[in-house]
Structures are given as structure tokens and as C-alpha cells.
A = this chain, B = another copy of it.
Amino acid sequence: MNAPIVNPALTKNQTLVFDALNRAEGPMSAYTILDKLRDHGFRAPLQVYRALDKLTEFGMVHRLESLNAFVACAHRESECCGGSHNHGQGTVAFAICESCNQVIEFHDHEVDHHLGDWAKSKGFKPSKTTIEIRGLCEKCAA
């Protein structure tokens, strides 16, 4: 059994940003987060970006490249790979509804495997892989 990364102690700003993302139903841009936190003393984008950098590093927040926005990690203890916020080697993938902005976070080991094989066959050393599916969620497609 692999010890999951222990939840690091968050600073005040990191906590505020993380809580804001968790309260939100969907992804938020850094500037949207900033606006939500003005009442808590936030004045400048860097306060948000610095917190987001750390939270992303901790695996507690993901950046959605196709949206220039951020979401709280949706992994829960019951997930297949165990451990909150521990994505291990696995690549996280996202399905993003363009109608209701819902984001479904998942990972697919088969996809990981095939992309890993491709990389190995080309001698390419991956550092970060982005998989984002834009489309319509079940409700919105109906």
C-alpha cells in the first residue's frame, strides 16, 4: 500500500482560493476567483496565481488548458486509485460540458497505457499530459 501524499498545511490565501473553488459548481478563471475574494482582502491577480500554483503542485487543483480556468480536484477517497489528491502516475482527464459548464474528472488507465506506449516508442519523455473532452453532458445533450 502506497502512502498517499499527506494533505499539506495550507496558507491563508491558499485556503481561501481552495475553498472558493470547492464552493463553485464549475471551473473558475483566476480573475473570477479574485473577484470572489475581494471581500477577504484580495486585491491583485498574483495573490490568486501564487495560491493556484501551489494548489496545483499539491494536486488539489487542476488547470483546464482549453478554458484557461481552474477546478478543485474531484477525486474522493472511494476512487479506484485510493487516496485523495493522489493521482500517482495516472493522467487526469476532463469532460467539460459547454452548455452547463459541469466538469467531470476521470482517468482511464487504458488511455494512459497507450499514450505511454506511444511515448516510449518515440523516445519521448512526458512530463505532463493534458486530456480534455469538450462537448455536452448527458443532461444537456438530451
Residue-wise, chain A 129-142 has the 8 Å CB interface mask toward B (1 for contact) of: 11111111110010
Q: Which residues of B contact A133 (CB under 8 A)?
A: 115, 119, 124, 126, 128-130
Residue-wise, chain A 59-96 has the 8 Å CB interface mask toward B (1 for contact) of: 00000011000000000000000000000000001010
Residue A31 interfacial (CB < 8 Å): no
A66-B65, A104-B124 known; A131 vs B134 contact (CB < 8 Å): no
Name the distance in Å between A45's Cβ and chain B's nearest Cβ: 17
Residue A39 interfacial (CB < 8 Å): no
Complexed CA–CA distance, A130 and B66 (Å): 8
Name the distance in Å between A82's Cβ and chain B's nearest Cβ: 20
Name the distance in Å between A71's Cβ and chain B's nearest Cβ: 15
Contact-size category for A: 20 to 34
A128-B134, A130-B130, A135-B126 known; A114 vs B115 contact (CB < 8 Å): no
Residue-wise, chain A 109-121 has the 8 Å CB interface mask toward B (1 for contact) of: 0110011001100
Contact of A106 among B118, B123, B135 (CB under 8 A): B118
Complexed CA–CA distance, A119 and B115 (Å): 18
Please determine whether A132 and B95 come into contact, CB atoms closer than 8 angstroms. no
Residue A108 interfacial (CB < 8 Å): yes
Q: Which residues of B contact A106 (CB under 8 A)?
A: 118
**Nearest 9 pairs of A and B residues by beta carbon:** A123-B138, A126-B135, A65-B65, A125-B141, A127-B135, A125-B136, A65-B66, A130-B132, A110-B114
